[in-house]
Amino acid sequence: MNVKKLDERLSVTAQPSIEDINVLAEQGFRTIVSNRPRGESEDQPDMQALKDKAEALGMVWHEIPVKPGEYSQADIESFAETLQSSPAPILGFCRTGKRVAHLWAYSQAPHRPVSELMDAASAAGYDLTPLRGSLEQQASKQ
């Protein structure tokens, strides 16, 4: 499991296993946000088992399932609200972490410079260059 920090509250990783949930708790994560729809792929771990494990370890669990590249304004606002209201540090995951990075950037664009978001995502291994135009549109929704 390769956890990368996007900002002071949110880190991102690819799909964790049930064993990884223990490690995340040991690392101090207090909230987990899944951006994968349940049953998205045959190799996906049982999401209910992951949720139950996280909650048994005292973590808050949220699911904001989105398909890759399909981010509604409601999804973005839900992600932003979850980041605001959940105890940090927060870990977001999907299959590769890309959806988390995208939702994070869209949710933060009205409040932070797009170039700063792109740099932070790039440092975590996610290229937001194809989203620059839509991120700038999102930024104008302040």
Per-residue confidence in pLDDT tens, the chain, 142 aa:
899 999 999 999 999 999 999 999 999 999 999 999 998 998 899 999 999 999 999 999 999 999 998 999 999 999 999 999 999 999 999 999 999 999 999 999 999 999 999 999 999 999 999 999 999 999 997 6
**Greatest C-alpha distance within the chain:** 42
Fold adopted by 4-139: Protein-Tyrosine Phosphatase; Chain A (3.90.190)
**Beta strands 31-34 and 4-5: pairing type?**
unpaired
Domain range summary for the chain, segments of one domain joined by +: 4-139
